[in-house]
Chain A
Amino acid sequence: MASLDASLAKPIAKEAPRRRALGVSGVFLPRLLAGLAIVLVWEASVRAFLPAYVAKPSTVLLAIPKTVVDAAFLAATADTLGAVAQGLGIAVVIGTLVGLVIGRSPTADRMLRHYVNGFYAVPMIVILPLLSLWFGYTSATRLATIVYAAIFSIVVNVSDGARAVPREYMEVARSFRAQRLRGLFEIVLPAATPYFLAGIRLAAGRALIGAVVAEFFTAIGGLGYFILFMSRTFRHDEAFVGVALLAAFGVGVDVFVAWCTRRFLPWYRRDERSA
């Protein structure tokens, strides 16, 4: 017991002084300075070399209060984020089911894997012209693009997770005569949760790109179209507020998923960005 304690204590003792050396100010100060430097270089270079309408920190900052109360901006934001949420929802439900089946059934795996990998590797944006032929220049095209963009990363990750479930778990379930379906939803799905979360993280990023691309392409409105329209009419500052919001959403999802993984699956460590 003592030797175990000692071996546990060792890496911690080694880690501690390094952590302390950084400290809060050691992290915060360089970051603040770097942020200031980026803002200054950006501001100065736009002022020196580029026309006045180009977005720079000072004017973007001034544009924020005006833009965030702008009814058109709010409607566009709600429109895009609503579509992303809806598309992600569809992709999560279908993708998880398909992923579970592929992960647990070798036959389904051999039959479907190549299609999933194939569709996953197709750059999602190329199917836009096809989707707009099918659904017209409507919000259905955007929804379909979002679902297509998001679903395959969920299928791939959930099936990886379902495959990685320890054999013992399934054996125990079988010895207690659990039904196959219950085993799927009560053992495989929870065990695959870390993979599932990693898939959501990727899917959310791709869904956001899909939404913006579809709005550029079909001009149906939404945040992507807002950015396009504003930058075309030389109101780059307002457009940039839209970009910042998209970035915030992307970062927000990343942070939220990372937090969920740490909070609810503290035993789990894996390179979440691997796919």
Chain B
Amino acid sequence: MTESLRRHAPLLLSLAAGTALWEIAGRRASAAFLVPLSETLVRLWEIAASGQLWEQFVSSAALFLTGFALALAIGMPLGMLLARMRVLRVALEPYIMILYATPMVALIPFILSLMGFGFAPKALVVFLFAVFPVLYNTIEGARSIKPELIEVARSFRSSEWKLWCDVMVPYTLPFAMTGVRQAIGRGLVGMVAAEFFLSATGLGQLIMTAGQNFDTGGVFAAILVIGLIGVGLMRVGLMLEQRFARWRD
């Protein structure tokens, strides 16, 4: 008991210190700059009670999940296919690497002028942010499959379908999960970017309108919500990665 107290004391102390710091700084600073934690929570409660928070959350979640699911559905099979077809992989690798390193935000103005303000262009933005980490890591995993594994499967006259089910997919999954974790983080940035720069909807809109109204409490409340979602999803990503990491090596 005392041992666990000693272990967790620094954490509890630092959380208390952080909370106190925010509260005190918020009370001393001008309300336009910083709002104390207590007021932020009150503002958050108001937004939640009005039903606005839930509505915007659902809208954002639909956007994120659509883009993210597309990224998984295309990135993972394509990555494995490229790993299986050597020539194609060698041919496309440099272009995938370039796209992986390109800041996708820079494409938003093009998407805006080509596709307008609807749901589809925004889902496309989330997809573009999320797909390349998945694709890149899946290829990376699939290319590291030991040729012996495939040779053994072949010598036992395994069919292509069986080979995928029993060798390719299980071997690649842990690597793909690293990509999935990265894609979660990037997809969230893409979601907010789409909501900021295409049409204002969802949690992005919540922040934008609060900022435009100089409602600093509202800005903090919305950032707190998105921050918590980010932390929670990151946890999920890490758990997924660790869950599958046991297969690796």
Known interface pairs A114-B14, A122-B230, A130-B211; A228-B33 also in contact (CB < 8 Å): no
What 1/0 flags go to A219-234 for Cβ under 8 Å of B? 0000010011001101
Which among A27, A134, A250, A271 is the interface contact of B90 at CB below 8 angstroms? A27
Interface of A is mostly: helix
Known interface pairs A118-B231, A122-B230, A224-B106; A129-B97 also in contact (CB < 8 Å): no
What 1/0 flags go to A1-45 for Cβ under 8 Å of B? 000000000000000000000100011001101110010000000
Q: In this assembly, does B172 line the interface, its C-beta being within 8 Å of a C-beta of chain A?
A: no
Q: In this assembly, does A213 line the interface, its C-beta being within 8 Å of a C-beta of chain B?
A: yes
Which among B110, B188, B223 is the interface contact of A231 at CB below 8 angstroms? B110
Chain A residues positioned under 8 Å from B136 (CB to CB): 273
Known interface pairs A212-B103, A243-B106; A123-B10 also in contact (CB < 8 Å): no
Q: Tell whether, in the assembled complex, residue B211 and residue A132 are in contact, meaning their CB atoms are under 8 Å apart.
A: yes
Chain A residues positioned under 8 Å from B140 (CB to CB): 271
Q: In this assembly, does A112 line the interface, its C-beta being within 8 Å of a C-beta of chain B?
A: yes
What 1/0 flags go to B143-159 for Cβ under 8 Å of A? 00000000000000000
Q: How far apart sit A247 and B140, CA to CA, in the bound complex (Å)?
A: 21
Q: Residue on B with the closest CB to A119?
A: B227
Interface residues in B1-37 (C-beta closer than 8 Å to A): 7-8, 10-11, 13-15, 18, 32-33
Q: How far apart sit A234 and B114, CA to CA, in the bound complex (Å)?
A: 10
Q: In this assembly, does A117 line the interface, its C-beta being within 8 Å of a C-beta of chain B?
A: yes
Q: Residue on B with the closest CB to A28?
A: B90
Q: Tell whether, in the assembled complex, residue B103 and residue A208 are in contact, meaning their CB atoms are under 8 Å apart.
A: yes
Q: Tell whether, in the assembled complex, residue A123 and residue B101 are in contact, meaning their CB atoms are under 8 Å apart.
A: no
Q: In this assembly, does B219 line the interface, its C-beta being within 8 Å of a C-beta of chain A?
A: yes
Say how far A222's CB is from chain B's closest CB, in angstroms. 12
Known interface pairs A123-B226, A274-B178; A129-B110 also in contact (CB < 8 Å): no
Which among B182, B208, B227 is the interface contact of A121 at CB below 8 angstroms? B227
Q: How far apart sit A233 and B30, CA to CA, in the bound complex (Å)?
A: 40
Chain B residues positioned under 8 Å from A250 (CB to CB): 101-103
Q: Tell whether, in the assembled complex, residue B90 and residue A129 are in contact, meaning their CB atoms are under 8 Å apart.
A: no
Which among B91, B103, B226 is the interface contact of A31 at CB below 8 angstroms? B91
Interface residues in B111-154 (C-beta closer than 8 Å to A): 112-114, 136-137, 140
Chain A residues positioned under 8 Å from B191 (CB to CB): 123
Q: Which of B41-49, B50-58, B68-76, B192-200 lies at the interface?
A: B192-200
Say how far B91's CB is from chain A's closest CB, in angstroms. 4
Q: How far apart sit A121 and B14, CA to CA, in the bound complex (Å)?
A: 19
Q: In this assembly, does B234 line the interface, its C-beta being within 8 Å of a C-beta of chain A?
A: yes
Q: In this assembly, does A236 line the interface, its C-beta being within 8 Å of a C-beta of chain B?
A: yes
Chain B residues positioned under 8 Å from A160 (CB to CB): none
Interface residues in B162-187 (C-beta closer than 8 Å to A): 178, 182, 185
Chain A residues positioned under 8 Å from B10 (CB to CB): 107, 110-111
Chain B residues positioned under 8 Å from A124 (CB to CB): 189
Besides A110-B7, A126-B207, A251-B97, 13 more A-B contacts (Cβ < 8 Å) are A22-B90, A35-B95, A107-B10, A110-B8, A112-B14, A122-B231, A126-B192, A209-B104, A212-B105, A224-B105, A236-B110, A253-B101, A273-B182
Report the 4 A-B pairs with minimum CB-CB distance, sorted nearest first.
Answer: A129-B211, A30-B91, A250-B101, A34-B91
Q: List 14 A-B contacts (CB under 8 A).
A: A22-B90, A30-B90, A31-B93, A38-B95, A125-B196, A133-B214, A216-B109, A231-B112, A234-B113, A247-B99, A254-B97, A271-B178, A273-B178, A273-B182
